[in-house]
Amino acid sequence: MAFLLRGTDSMALPLQRVKVAMLSFALAMITAPLPASAQSDSAAEILAPLIDAGHLAGAVIVVTGRDGTLVEEAVGMADREAQRPMATDSMFWIASMTKPITAAALMILVDEGKITLDDPVSKYVPEFNDLWVIASREGEGTAEQRVLKRPERPITIRHCLSHTSGLPFSSTVERPTLDGVPLATTARSYAMLSLESEPGTAYRYSNAGINIAGRIIEVVAGVPYETFLDTRLFGPLGMKDTTFRPDMGQIARIARSYRASADGSGLEPVGISQLTWPYDAQRYPMPGGGLFSTASDCGRFCRLLLNRGSAGEGKRILSEAAVAELSRRQTPVDLPESYGLGFSVGGDGAFGHGGAHATNMTIDPARGLAVVWMVQDAGTPPEWRTGEGHVRQWAFGKFGGGNQ
């Protein structure tokens, strides 16, 4: 099961393109025959042909079981122009893989009885007491006319985490970058937007809902959102390289992003247009997609979920009930999209999430395995999906006995 839900490279994509680029899931195992190299003990051998052909600059792969890391490999280049090899501690912008981390952090507060998933957002962000929903619309573009009405029900925290709030993807305060204003300001700005649908009735992938959840963490916990993540998740899990503000040493380890060149000759470098440079400057955390991390750190997070919220040695971060809630389908059964709380979920019990520049994690409790795929690719060519699918299939075939 691969989860290819990714953030967007544009904050103003037409809805249909959003559905294609962001909401398409590959919710079945790739069944194409594995290449001969996939029969080896090395994930790097599987990817070598893609790197040699110029389809992929480099990657870091982590496969983890419930008891620890089974595979950690780096292959290719982190920066082709500087001839800097990919390393197992290379840093990546994980983009929308931040969403499940935000959801897990919020579930800590649910476990503590400080909030419930069905609390109205307006309880914590009062501006949401005055919302409007689009009842009908006529025309297109600047000529569009909308008829508004009051929503039939309030937006809840559950709606925000499952992309069923009705909120658009973002607001104008998040331009030109997503991290230019404080989280409190960003959250309040969403209350000025018209809802695209009644809360709880439709799936609409939205950074806005996840960012609101991050703001609610701040309000309830009484500390900044990123401080809560550091003290309640990253610190206890040993995720020392997961941060919204990488320091200079970490910046030197960030893998460069690439996309297919326009002339088809190979790859060309591309910046992270959604974030403000320099990354260690005055920026604000973005719960919907702002984190940098390593494959190893993401593997630690996956292992927490494989172990149903236990971090080992008697240390529990989430209840088993919280993990079950995160990973079960929350979207209405009459909708094609299957999404939990911050996670895409599959019919076989696997769940995960991807990021805008092609990072991905898949957690499969039945196999007792999680696979972390870390690349920085702004274009997602078909060859990339083939490579990731082969790595995942190799990992599940080699280690997926269900008892790791």
pLDDT at position 21, please? 34
Phi/psi for 284 (5° steps) reads -120, 145
Contact 284, 183 (CB under 8 A): yes
Provide, for the chain, the percentages of residues in helix, strand and coil under a 3-state DSSP scheme, each rounded to the nearest 5: 35, 20, 50
Which residues of the chain are modeled with pLDDT < 50? 4-33, 36-38, 402-404
Q: What is the largest CA-CA distance in the chain?
A: 61
pLDDT tens, position by position, 108-121: 999 999 999 999 99
pLDDT at position 283, please? 75
pLDDT at position 59, please? 96
Q: Residue with structure tokens 């305060």?
A: 173
Q: Domains along the chain?
A: 15-399 (3.40.710.10)
pLDDT at position 16, please? 31
pLDDT at position 13, please? 36
Contact 154, 212 (CB under 8 A): no
Residue 156 β-bridge partners:
120
pLDDT at position 294, please? 99
pLDDT at position 355, please? 94
pLDDT at position 280, please? 66
Dist CA 301 CA 295 (whole Å):
10
pLDDT at position 266, please? 84
Specify the pTM: 0.89
